[in-house]
Structure formats: structure tokens, C-alpha cells
Amino acid sequence: MADKGLKGDSVGLIGSTVLSISSVAPAYALTATIGILAASAGAKVPVVIIAGFLPMFFAAYAYREMNKVSPDCGTSFTWTTKAFGPVIGWLGGWTAILATIFVLSNLAAVAVQFFYQFFGEVFGSQTIADLWLNTPINVLTCLAFLGIASYVAYRGVDATEKVQIVLVSFQLIILLIFSVLAIAKHGESGVGLDFSWDWFSPSGLTLSAFIAGLSGSIFAFWGWDVSLTVNEESKDREKIPGRAALLCVVSILLTYLIVSIATQMYAGLGETGIGLANPDTADNVFGVLAEPVMGNFGILLFLAVLASSAASLITTFFPTTRTMLAMSSYKALPAGLQKIHPVQRPRRWPS
């Protein structure tokens, strides 16, 4: 792996947390899952989100403890290999690599969609907004996004951290503004719901609805472990990566709860119009609610989702490259993959 900026003692708690949040892509995850959760769990979306948070929190806590004992960029590959042997570790490592390959292509496609929709809104042109549906243009733009993301990741963890602080801060600020406006305007929509603490109770939620909603909720938390994959590039590799993972899942939980409550209060749960259970808008809820909630500034919500998917695309390179580096070091992949750019090397890599 040729990473121009790899070095020890560089990433702090804030940087590690931001990297993990960027991989989760809260703005994109919310616009893609709120409708699905509402269709499955109805008004119980908050309790389903909490249910999805719990296994992620305990997994992050377990990762923190394993990282204390063995801070290694291979994370699950290395720890599984040491605990269960090389065969299980090899399978786990390759599973992570293949999953990331599929995710990268999907994230690039999402970025392309919101890229053209954003500029379609800017210029008031449906033709531009629909360019992502043109296959050749879509493919070429996807490749361009992948090229840019690859270059940023190649520049190293320090450069990526600076980019992600901007992208993550922007999307979280826009999500907060959206939530405040949605709550403030919920009486104007005509279909909104009044807040109820019953949304946080599993009472009345069927098992099938709970399981369906839980699967979407768990998906929405995926990516929190990125901070652990840069543990050997962190200032305090035994403590900071684990703390960052826990801080990430807690931050994401609070973000999801605030936004989900706000969207329910404004849009309601109807299956038509702006209702969250409308199957025609389930895959892009913010696309429907941006203008009604934020008016002329609704375009910023499109930009936030674009920033979210782009940020996740950039950060998702990290786990794969570092897993491959660790696998190479443990002779599970060709030795050439453990080469580090000579400009800067980390203080230690697994041996």
C-alpha cells in the first residue's frame, strides 16, 4: 500500500470520531432509511433506532477492549486470527474486503445521483437533475468520484481528516437546522404528528415489524469502526480509537433520534404525499421534504447528502487498505502489499 501520509501519533480523538462518523454517512443513511423504518415500524421509529444502536454500542465497546490489548490496523482480521486461527481470520479479512468493494461502488453511485440533483436544483433544470439516469454519464462520473476519493485517501490520514472535518460538520449542521425547522413547522404541514413519548416504547410493535425495522437501523450505523483501523496512526493508539468508536455510535444515535422525531412530526406516517410511509419517496425522504421544510435553502439538504456520500466514499478506503496491509504482514496476502511509502512510515506495523 502506498499511503503518502501514514505516520504514528497523528490522529486525535476528534479526528478519529469524525472519520468514523464520515463513514457512517448520517445524512445519506437518514434519507435512505427513515422511510423504510417508518413503513415497517410506524411511529415506533425512535425505539427501533435505539434497538439498532445497542448491538453497535456493545460491538464498539468490545472493539475498544480488543484494541487495548492489541492495537493493530488489521482489527477484526488480526483479532480473529489470534483468537480462532488463520483460516477464520482469512475468511473474515476477505469478507471485509469484498463488502467494502461493493459499498464503494454503491456510495459512488449515490454521490453521482445527488451531485446531478443538486445542480439540477441550482439551475432549475430537470434535464440536469436526471443526468444520473444516463448510464454512460453515470459511469464516467462514478469513476471521477472514485478517482478523487482515491487521491484524498492516498494523501494520507492527516489530509483525509481535514477534509472530513469540513464535510461532516457541514452535514450535521444542516441536519440540525432541518430538524429545528421541521419541529417548528410541524403544525403547518397538515399531516404531521404531535410528539409522544410512546414512540420510545416497544409496546404495540409486532415482532415482524421490529425485525424489519431493526435490519434497517443496524445498516444505518454501519461504518463506526473506521477509527479502529487507523489505531496505529493515532496519538494514543490503546485508548483514542476505542473511545472514538463509542463516541461515534452515541453521536449517530442522537442525530438519528433528533432527525427521525422531527420528520415524523412534520411529515407524518401517511402513504401518500410527503408521508414517510409513501413507497415512492422511501429511498430519498429528504428529496421530498427539503423544500417544504427549508424553503429556498432546501438545496443545502441536497448538498448535505452529497457531502455525506462523498465523505463516506473517501473514508471507506481506509479499512480495506489497512486490512490488506495487515493481511500481507501476516502472510495472508502477497508480501508486496505491505510496502509503505518511503516518505513517512508509521512507528510500528504488525509482525
Q: What is the pLDDT of residue 175?
A: 96
Residues 24 and 32: their CA atoms lie apart, in Å, by 12
Q: What is the pLDDT of residue 331?
A: 84
Q: What is the pLDDT of residue 111?
A: 83
Q: What is the pLDDT of residue 348?
A: 45
Q: What is the pLDDT of residue 321?
A: 85
Mean per-residue pLDDT, 327-343: 79
Q: What is the pLDDT of residue 342?
A: 64
Q: What is the pLDDT of residue 1?
A: 36
Q: Name the nearest CA neighbour of 315 among 227, 190, 255.
A: 227
Q: What is the pLDDT of residue 8?
A: 47
Q: Which of 7-11, 328-332, 343-347 has the lowest mean pLDDT?
A: 343-347
Instruction: Identify the band that residue 184 occupies on the pLDDT scale cut at 50, 70 and 90.
Output: very high
Report the mean per-residue pLDDT for the chain: 86
Q: What is the pLDDT of residue 341?
A: 65
Q: Name the nearest CA neighbour of 46 among 200, 268, 205, 250.
A: 200
Side-chain-facing half-sphere of 288: CA atoms under 13 Å: 24
Mean per-residue pLDDT, 325-344: 78
Angle (deg, nearest 10), helices 285-294 and 240-267: 70
**DSSP label at 9?**
S
Instruction: Identify the band that residue 347 occupies on the pLDDT scale cut at 50, 70 and 90.
Output: very low
H or E segment and range at residue 303: helix 299-315
Mean per-residue pLDDT, 178-199: 92
The three three-digit cell numbers of residue 18, written as one number: 469524525
Q: 84 phi and psi, to 5 degrees?
A: -120, -5
216-269 pLDDT, tens digit each: 888 889 888 899 888 888 888 889 999 999 999 999 999 999 999 999 999 999
Q: Does the pLDDT value for residue 351 go beyond 50?
A: no
284-295 pLDDT, tens digit each: 899 889 999 999
Q: Helix, strand or coil for residue 234?
A: strand
Q: What is the pTM of this model?
A: 0.87
Q: What is the pLDDT of residue 59?
A: 92
For 155-164, b/e burial (b = at least 16 CB within 10 A) is ebbbbbbebb
129-157 pLDDT, tens digit each: 889 889 999 999 989 988 998 888 888 78
The percentage of residues in the chain with a pLDDT greater than 90, rounded to a whole number, is 35
Q: What is the pLDDT of residue 343?
A: 57
Q: Does the pLDDT value for residue 2 go beyond 60?
A: no
H or E segment and range at residue 150: helix 135-154
Q: What is the pLDDT of residue 255?
A: 96
Instruction: Identify the band that residue 106 occupies on the pLDDT scale cut at 50, 70 and 90.
Output: confident
